[in-house]
Amino acid sequence: MEKILGYPTSYKIHITQKGNSMKEKTTLALAQISCKRGSKKENIQKMQKYIKKAKKRNAQLIVFPELSLTGYTIRDQIYELAETVPGPSTKALEKIAEKEGIHIIFGMPELSQKTHAVIYNTAVLIGPKGYIGKYRKMYLPTHSVFEEKRYFRQGYTPEVFETEVGKIGIMICYDVFF
């Protein structure tokens, strides 16, 4: 059974569940939080609070906004705030996912491991057993107030991730139009 679960928090998420039974369901929590611009520590603390709430409501997956680790409008701070994946913030959220027994999708500026001059707008997927994978935004808007190509390199490949809750595919914001 495949379900399109909507366009929560700037992502389009597909979950294909294992088996055909209608009894098999995935409980998804959407946390459209207000992120503190430039403060990874505060944003992780806020995410942890919402992860605990989601777990109390039996969620198996919680989804946070695009660039929720740092806030969206960080402009030139991006070079100071970007991290590799996995990296320190990913590791912090891995510990929370393991403790709470939940899958997490969150957004962050990802610093390329090959060249530190390249940064991606990335959605990271973590499960109770650790890091699962990442998706790099493929279509970067450059109209109106958006200037993402100024800061980010585009991703090139969509991914589907096998998890305990089913197969998960991720798209970020503007990607859904293509």
Q: What are the residue numbers of the active site?
A: 66, 137, 173
Closest to 9 in 3D by CA, of 27, 34, 30: 30
Long-range contacts of 15-23 (CB under 8 A, 24+ apart): 15/61, 15/165, 15/166, 15/167, 15/168, 16/166, 16/167, 17/165, 17/166, 18/166
| Helix spans in 7-68 (H) | 40-56
| Joined tokens for residue 48 | 């942890």
DSSP state of 72: S
Rounded distance between C-alpha atoms, residue 14 and residue 5, angstroms:
6
- DSSP string over 131-144: EEEEEE------ST
